[in-house]
Structure 1
């Protein structure tokens, strides 16, 4: 019965895990009917592209790190047993199954057999097309929320494994906030976060779009950095982050696709 459920609002704690709900909610108490969750974005402290695979994807080695910028997503159970309903504060955001939130909820139902559908409102703060993983974070948040509403039908490890079917960046958002990511990005190794989340940071997002597909088309592997990503991690562990660590193999081809990025 929905009437036996409760509302829960989660306040993001940057000194703890990305999601604190599993620690905050008493699993023996009445299940929730509404959730308000923070959905943080991420930066790539360094990004090495190491190989082009036979399936057309590229292997990468990168240090992903969440920052305090993020979206807020509100979930509530819908009486419908047919479809989810998504709204947002930003025009132009798809509201159907092109949106990764809806894809994530569909995937959860497919994997678990759940028949719960949701009303969702996305308060969008993370710019799209900025390489910050906003959509991937939204997808991970939706999977995690669905699991709360369904009394934990899946383990968090299962959610992380399933999430790679949505996108390569999604599994990272089940990490502890910083991770060394390899493969297409879906192989996640937790590391101690080297950056405090209250560190002042300037992010610049140009108005023009820069197609990731076009950037990869311009990538020349023989012209990428030769820095060993494991060595970069060791330097960060010893000395912290410095400019020489912040290597991005996609920067040169991105400048070719969108020369104004250099201005």
Structure 2
């Protein structure tokens, strides 16, 4: 099922919101009168707050009027909560933390600092984690919890590093309780950890009244991770350097274009993949020519070049077999099949459904499968999760121990 265009509202008080069905209803009858009903007058003044409404129905038979008062207690609560936030500032915040794919990824050289230069079209997609932030009474320590065993919750986690970086840059002293509800698998080439760090920087800035600009956050974030600055784009960007040089590409691809993400239980170590990379065997395609082709004609198999595929297929030979089987089973559903980042996720563009063998073949019973679509954001707003976003973890994605993997 393709992703819906409807977006969930980001709310500080989501757990307290309810539907209009929870409102209280009062009914009474009254005789016609030349004066307006006092309740109707109070309703008129409260209409903007949507906490009280009036409906009047007249009966010609007995000369009575039916008056219905609807009092929305939830709307009143939300109004009070919003007023509290204005008076004392934000105390808790829930944010969506989406991942990314690399539509193409060219490795163009090796740098003196040991990193590689790249040129890549990054795009945010709708699969993501949810992170809940609350102000901590402590002025000395952040506390992180998560739903997935094996994910580090100490200072090695990029969320904690991002919060420390924000305090260092701004001089603020706010610390947080954070819960990470993780759906993006680790070691997948989807930038889940980088997205978490960017989301944490955005959250810390909201708690501090927005004292830093988006450009500040983007520049600072490059100090702790090469992929993090990308998430401060609008969702699609041409990235160069180590990945930290970000050029926004607006309205590049339709956000309703469906895709499927398929990841085997094994992860790819980024360090191992780069160790096996041979620059003399990479593609010679001009990255700007690839970008122009996508801009003019959309995504096709020819433009989805990833120079990290050959070394990743050496690290994880079953990954090469998975990609070949997806392509062989394609009946026109996918316009392109390629690996994202340094692996181990294979992306099929054009359909949200995996090929049948993923469900039927026992060799693939433990793969991670998720539908997705492209995602963007507006300036001064964070990313919002499409309602139909759907992900499924296999049992292998909930390990008791996970080796550190750079994504």
TM-score (norm 2): 0.58
Partner of 2:114: 56
Cα separation, 2, equivalents of 1:115 and 1:185: 30
Q: What is the DSSP-based 3-state SS (H/G/I as helix, E as strand, rest coil) of the residue aligned with 1:151?
A: coil
Q: What is the DSSP-based 3-state SS (H/G/I as helix, E as strand, rest coil) of the residue aligned with 1:81?
A: coil
1:29 aligns with 2:86: yes
1:259 aligns with 2:264: no
Instruction: Give the structure with higher Rg (CA).
Output: 2
Q: What is the DSSP-based 3-state SS (H/G/I as helix, E as strand, rest coil) of the residue aligned with 2:305?
A: coil
Cα separation, 2, equivalents of 1:8 and 1:226: 52
Shift of 1:258: 1.1
Cα separation, 1, equivalents of 2:256 and 2:197: 24
Q: Which moved more, 1:197-206 or 1:218-227?
A: 197-206
Q: What is the DSSP-based 3-state SS (H/G/I as helix, E as strand, rest coil) of the residue aligned with 1:132?
A: coil
Q: Is the 8 A contact 1:178 1:190 kept in 2?
A: yes
Partner of 2:56: none
Q: Is the 8 A contact 1:65 1:193 kept in 2?
A: no
Q: Is the 8 A contact 2:99 2:125 kept in 1?
A: yes
Segments of structure 1 that go 5 or more residues without pairing to the other structure are 1-5, 10-24
Cα separation, 2, equivalents of 1:173 and 1:235: 24
Cα separation, 2, equivalents of 1:193 and 1:221: 32
Q: Is the 8 A contact 2:135 2:176 kept in 1?
A: yes
Partner of 2:193: 135
Shift of 1:198: 3.5
**Could you report, residue by residue, the CA deviation over 1:114-144 in whole angstroms, capped at 9, with x for unpaired residues?**
1100010100000001010000000000000
Partner of 2:4: none
Shift of 1:8: 5.3
Shift of 1:200: 2.3
Query: Paired residue for 1:39, among 83, 93, 97?
Result: 97
Q: Is the 8 A contact 1:255 1:261 kept in 2?
A: yes
Q: Is the 8 A contact 2:136 2:176 kept in 1?
A: yes
1:154 aligns with 2:212: yes
Query: Paired residue for 1:93, among 134, 148, 151?
Result: 151
Shift of 1:210: 1.5
Partner of 2:164: 106
Partner of 1:7: 12
Shift of 1:192: 2.0
Cα separation, 2, equivalents of 1:259 and 1:197: 32
Q: What is the DSSP-based 3-state SS (H/G/I as helix, E as strand, rest coil) of the residue aligned with 2:130?
A: strand
Segments of structure 2 that go 5 or more residues without pairing to the other structure are 1-10, 15-81, 322-407
Compute the RMSD of aligned alpha carbons.
1.7
1:73 aligns with 2:131: yes
Q: How many residues align?
A: 242
Q: Is the 8 A contact 1:177 1:193 kept in 2?
A: no
1:168 aligns with 2:226: yes
Q: What is the DSSP-based 3-state SS (H/G/I as helix, E as strand, rest coil) of the residue aligned with 1:76?
A: strand
Q: Is the 8 A contact 1:8 1:32 kept in 2?
A: no
Q: What is the DSSP-based 3-state SS (H/G/I as helix, E as strand, rest coil) of the residue aligned with 1:68?
A: strand
Q: Is the 8 A contact 1:179 1:188 kept in 2?
A: yes
**Could you report, residue by residue, the CA deviation over 1:174-198 in whole angstroms, capped at 9, with x for unpaired residues?**
0000000000000000002433334
Shift of 1:150: 0.7
Q: Is the 8 A contact 1:224 1:249 kept in 2?
A: yes
Shift of 1:29: 3.0
